[in-house]
Structure 1
Amino acid sequence: MKKIARITTQKKSKNRYNIFLDDGHGESYGFSVDEALLIEYRLRKGLELDNSMVDTLIQKDTVHKVYTQAIHFLSYRMRTKKEIRDYLVKKEVEPEQVEQIMGRLEKENLVDDRQFAEMFVRTRMNTSSKGPSLIKKELMEKGVAAAIAAEAVEGYPYEVQYEKIRKLIDKKLSQKKKDSFRKQVQNLQASLMQKGFTQDVVKEAFADIQEEKDEDAEWEALVYQGEKLMRKHQMKHEGYALMNKVKEGLFRKGFPMDQIQKFLESRE
């Protein structure tokens, strides 16, 4: 048996204490504990401790220190269970201790994947141009179960998706580009799908898009692309063959045939 010879407060951490033990041959440093354990086990000068109790106190203090670190990790933002586990593994915490810490965090409602997912969706919906499918993928990458992720993205209303897409459409199509209106629309549709918006809402948002077509900008883009194609092919072709190459190229780029014909006639 060993007796607690004295207890001192650590200089750099006022809520941690150094425990000095006397085994009958003089005192020496034994271990340190957090204030919570000092109170829980009523550690005081003269208290006798056997080796088993010393080991228990050291183990509990280790768990408590890592638990405190996990709380600090959570203080920056909410985390998923997987993120906390990965953090603890990175800290080289023993598997048994990981389970103890995770159990305590869940019991105290400090880790909740469902709550995390709901908040994550709201944040992404309000601060990004991402659609629900991409947000769901992000949640699953963070370790949230597919069913919970799917339920969470239901909080991303159809009408909010529609309004967000319309704003993106108006912004992108108002920028003058050298592509045909059709090509711009196709590229934008593909981009929106990649951002995670569903095909139904994208299709509806583009339903009346033809009304926003800028005919002057379309003609300028056609002339630009047409002249570029003529320079490209005139070294090998001339006459009908050249015009046919330009016509094919412009059609593949999405320009309407009547406008293509108008351009070709102006160059004959």
Structure 2
Amino acid sequence: MAKLTKITTQKKHKSRYNIFLDKGNGEEYGFSVDEDVLVKYRLQKNMDLDDATINALVQTDTLHKSYTLAINYLSYRMRSEKEIRDYLKDKEADPEHIEEIIKKLHQERLLDDQEFANSLVRTRIMTSSKGPLLLKKELLDKGVSALKADEAITLYSFDKQYEKALKFAEKKMRNDGRKSYRQQIQNVQQTLMQKGFQGDVIQEVLVNLPEEEDENTEWEAVVYQGEKLLRKFQPKTEGYELKQKVKSGLYRKGFPFDLIDRFIEEYIDV
């Protein structure tokens, strides 16, 4: 049996208290507790504490500290259950305490994977260029079940997807203006797929993109790309071989044969 001899406030953490005990050999530091634990157990000077009670106090305080860590982690943004578990494991929380904390957070409605998933999808729709397939992957990576992820993705309507995908596609085509029209379309399709947009949305976007630009604009692109190829191959080859390399390079870039032949005729002496 030990007697509680003194309670002092910690200098750096005003809500934590040092408990001093006398186990028969004079006063010595015993343990520390949070203010909530101090009040809950009504700790006061001259109270007698047996080993079981001391152990219970230490365990309760340890649980409280881990719970406080979880609450602080949640204060920045919503978290998935997996994120909370991983965070507490990284903080070396007791496995039994983790289960208790998770249960308590659910009871207090501070942890809800469906609400977390819904919130993440709404935020990403407003702040990112990701399509629904990438968002679903992100949710799965955060430990959200496939069922809950699918439910959240329904918030990303076809119209919202189309609006975002079309805006991105138009911007990309403007940036790719010196590429062939065919290559621009291919790049848009590939990029939208990489961003996780669904096939029906991509097809609708491609159908509604501006039609092929006039021949003058396409010719300017041929000249730009053709001159780059000439700078690349002229130091190494000439004549017929140079002509074939440039012709092949322009074809791979998606330009039509008539414009390729025109460039070869005007820019390469064979």
Per the normalisation by structure 2, the TM-score is 0.89
After TM superposition, give the deviation of residue 124 of structure 1 in Å.
0.7
Higher mean displacement: 127-136 or 144-153: 144-153
Give unpaired runs (5+ residues) of structure 2.
Answer: none
Distance 2:48 2:238 in 1: 102
2:6 partner SS: strand
Cα offset, 1:227, TM superposition: 4.1
Shift of 1:79: 1.3
> Which shifted more, 203-212 or 178-187?
203-212
In 1, Cα distance between the equivalents of 2:245 and 2:20? 91
How far apart are the structure 1 equivalents of 2:242 and 2:84?
65
User: 2: distance between equivalents of 1:250 and 1:228?
Assistant: 10
Moved more, 153-162 or 98-107: 98-107
What amino acid maps onto 2:97 in structure 1? Q
> Structure 1 residues 6, 238: CA separation in 2 closer, same or farther (over 3 Å shift)?
closer
1:116–1:212 CA distance, 2 compared to 1 (3 A) = farther
CA distance in 1, matches of 2:37, 2:187: 62
Q: Which runs of 5+ in 1 are unaligned?
A: none
Aligned to 1:183, the other structure's residue is in SS state: helix
Contact residue 233 and residue 245 of structure 1 kept, 8 A: no
Per the alignment, residue 179 of structure 1 pairs with 179
The answer (yes or no) to whether the contact 2:176–2:184 under 8 Å persists in 1 is: no
Check 1:177–1:50 CA distance in 2 against 1; reply closer, same or farther (3 A cut): same
Residue 6 of structure 1: CA displacement?
A: 2.4
**Which has the higher mean CA deviation after the structures are superposed, 173-182 or 222-231?**
222-231
The amino acid that maps onto 1:132 is: P
TM-fit CA distance, 1:156: 0.7
Residue 109 of structure 1: aligned partner: 109
C-alpha displacement at 1:32, in angstroms?
A: 1.4
Deviation by residue 1:130-163 (Cα, 9 ceiling, x = unmatched): 1010111111111111221121111111111111
Structure 1 match to 2:17: 17
How many Å separate the matches in 1 of 2:200 and 2:87?
Answer: 39
DSSP-derived class of the 1:8 partner: strand
d(CA) in 2 for partners of 1:13 and 1:243?
78
Aligned with 1:260: secondary structure?
A: helix
Cα distance between partner residues in 1 of 2:235 and 2:11: 84
Q: Which residues of 2 match residues 141-220 of structure 1 at below 5 A?
A: 141-175=141-175, 177-211=177-211, 213=213, 215-220=215-220
Task: Give yes or no for the alignment of 1:123 onto 2:112.
Answer: no
Tell whether the 8 Å contact from 2:170 to 2:209 is kept in structure 1 after alignment. Answer: no
1:20 counterpart SS class: strand
* 1:40–1:214 CA distance, 2 compared to 1 (3 A): farther
Matches of 2:9 and 2:248, distance apart in 1? 84
Please report how far the alpha carbon of residue 39 of structure 1 lies from its aligned counterpart in structure 2 after TM superposition: 1.6
Deviation at 1:257, TM superposition (A): 2.8
> How far off its partner does 1:261 sit?
3.8
SS of alignment partner, residue 129 of structure 1: coil
Give the secondary-structure state (helix, strand or coil) at the position aligned to 2:32.
strand
The answer as to whether partners of 1:82 and 1:142 remain within 8 angstroms in 2 is yes
Which residue does the alignment assign to 1:83?
83
- The 1-side partners of 2:244 and 2:258 are apart by 14
TM-score normalised by structure 1 residue count: 0.90
SS at match of 1:174: helix
Query: Do the aligned partners of residues 234 and 11 (structure 1) sit closer, same or farther apart at CA in structure 2, a change above 3 Å counting?
Result: closer
**Contact kept in structure 2, 1:176 and 1:217, CA below 8 Å:** no
Deviations 1:151-206 (A, max 9, x none): 11111111111111111122122235432111111012101100010111011111
Residue matched to 2:256: 256
Question: Does the 8 A contact of 1:80 with 1:116 survive in 2?
Answer: yes
